[in-house]
Structure formats: structure tokens, C-alpha cells
Amino acid sequence: MPKNLILFILIFISFPLFSQQFEGGFFGGFSATQVDGDRLSGYNKVGITAGAYTSRKLNSSLNLKTEIRYIQKGAYQKPTDINPEMFKTSLHYAEIPFLLQYFYNDKGYAEAGLIPEILLASKEEDETGIISVDHLLAFHRFTIEAAAGIGYFLTDHLAAGFRYSYSLLPARDHASGQTYMLNRGQYNNVLCFTMYYHFR
């Protein structure tokens, strides 16, 4: 088992002990993603996300929030009658978002922060099946994203959230190795829709 996966599991196991000093909860939802810099476009790769979080009030309007999150990302081109080619990139990440939340009333909030992430696994497929890793450029194991989102508490314990995140560092270099100004490779582009259960 990879060392970074063992570390992630240990952090997750210790999470309930840490959360005794804070408010927190669990969440689940889905992601719609694309990889900017590949030959595909559109948020066509749908995946799941789930995890746990803690939050701590700084004052009446501001919270600090930390999550431990599993999320699926990637890209997908569906075959059509016009273009029978299929291509799918499947990426599995463990993330630890660090967020600042601003509550503009008792129920609604906006948030922003950084998301360090670890790539757990990756796979690419075309219409003939799984593509051998010998023919692929590897994705980077460690990356970081910037994130912003909004949320709303539907009840005292249940909240719905939307978050957008984008890679600050490339998820993978271009196959050619070329870079141009800020375009240094392929970048994860992520929309995330989540339901939270909050313990008070």
C-alpha cells in the first residue's frame, strides 16, 4: 500500500478525535469535470465525492473549515454516429481542502480556499479498451487547486453546496513537453455539488 495512502487513512481515522473540539459532519455528492489542455471539452465526466469535515467559528460571520475528501475527476468523450471514437480519463483523488467561509446570514455562506490533493489512481480508455500506461504520460502525484463556492442550510443539520475548483499546478504535463506562459500542462476543471450533514 502506498505510503501516502496509509497517511491519508491515518488522518481519516484520527479525524473524529480532532473534531471533538469543533463542529463538523459528513458529506456526499457528485462532480462534473473536464481536463483543460487535452483534446476534449465539456463537463462530461461525472463522478462521486464523499468525506468528512470540521469547522471552527472565528467570529459571528467567519468560519475556518477543513475537509478530508475523496473525489473522482477526469474527462469523457462519448461516441456518436458522426464520431465513433470514445475517450475517457478516470482520476481518483484524496483531497484536504482548507477553506474560509463567510456567512452572510444564518443559513447562506460563501467560501474560498486551497485544496492540496493526492492522486490515488488513474486510468485512460478508448473505444478499444484500457490504454497501456507505457503509452501515456503520467499524471502528477501531488497537485493543488484553488476553490470557491456557495452553500445554504436547508435545516439546522442539512446543507447544500456548490463549489468550483481549478488546478493551480498542472495535473499532467503536455505530451509534447511544451509550455507557454501560464499554460504549462493539463489542468483539472471541476464543478462539485454536495449535500452536508452538520453536527452542532
User: Residue 174's pLDDT is what?
Assistant: 73
Q: Which residues pair with 56 in a beta bridge?
A: 64
User: Residue 5's pLDDT is what?
Assistant: 53
* Spatial separation of the C-alpha atoms in residues 191 and 149, rounded to whole Å: 10
- DSSP 3-state of 43: coil
Please name which of 134, 36, 57 lies closest in space to residue 103, comparing C-alpha atoms.
57
Q: pTM of the predicted model, to two decimals?
A: 0.84
User: Residue 22's pLDDT is what?
Assistant: 74
For the beta carbon of residue 42, count every other beta carbon within 10 angstroms.
12
The b/e string for 156-175 (b: 16+ C-beta within 10 A; e otherwise) is: eeebebebebebeebbbbbe
User: Residue 149's pLDDT is what?
Assistant: 98
- DSSP 3-state of 104: coil
User: Residue 19's pLDDT is what?
Assistant: 45
Domain edges within the chain: 24-199
Sequential DSSP letters for 157-173 = SEEEEEEEEEESS-SB-
* Spatial separation of the C-alpha atoms in residues 72 and 90, rounded to whole Å: 7
How would you write the pLDDT of the chain (200 residues) with one tens digit per residue? 455 555 555 555 445 544 446 789 999 999 999 999 877 788 999 999 999 999 988 998 999 999 999 999 999 998 887 888 888 999 999 999 999 999 999 899 999 999 999 999 999 988 888 887 676 788 999 999 999 999 999 999 999 999 999 999 999 987 655 655 556 689 999 999 999 999 87
For the beta carbon of residue 65, count every other beta carbon within 10 angstroms.
19
For the beta carbon of residue 40, count every other beta carbon within 10 angstroms.
17
Please name which of 83, 80, 70, 73 lies closest in space to residue 44, comparing C-alpha atoms.
73
Contact predicate 31/192, CB 8 Å: yes
Contact predicate 166/189, CB 8 Å: yes
Q: Which fold has domain 24-199?
A: Porin (2.40.160)
